[in-house]
A = this chain, B = another copy of it.
């Protein structure tokens, strides 16, 4: 950040009075521009002992597999965002079963919130951000071709819970 988005003046990076972290400050219009983590939310869509994965058609990690998930938008709820992403990326209609994983990725200032969800029918097709969408049994999951460590961690825990017959709520951190 170099310029104030409100008045166009140059901003300075310094610690405001009464604060303890450097912020981008506009000395012209006195606005402090805070920067905060973003929420990525999505689903583990279930259908007949399989789950739905999307092959990314965008960077980063073009061509690798992930769960349908994306940045939460202003003015929506976490579950609305998860349903929207599942619709946009996989054209799949699901109902949410419950929250499953809440992982912090502090090195990129993101928080992932993944819900378990049940597909309402077996229909799906790639959205604009997916090259391909497919249902996978546990033994078919392309572990070596997953896009992100947070997705691998979520799926490892998911199948472990599934074997034990009980799905907990998982809160954790993903290191760099």
Contact = CB atoms under 8 A, between A and B. Distances in A.
Interface of A: 1-8, 11, 18, 21, 24, 33-39, 71-80, 98-99, 102, 104, 106-107, 109, 111, 113, 128, 169, 171, 173
A77 B3 contact: no
A128 to B, nearest CB: 6
Nearest to A24: B5
Contacts of A21: 73
Of A21, A79, A111, which is in contact with the most chain B CB atoms at under 10 Å from its CB? A111
Nearest to A171: B99
B128 A102 contact: no
Given A5-B11, A78-B171, 14 more contacts: A1-B5, A1-B6, A3-B4, A3-B6, A5-B5, A8-B8, A34-B71, A36-B72, A37-B74, A75-B109, A76-B106, A78-B104, A79-B173, A102-B113
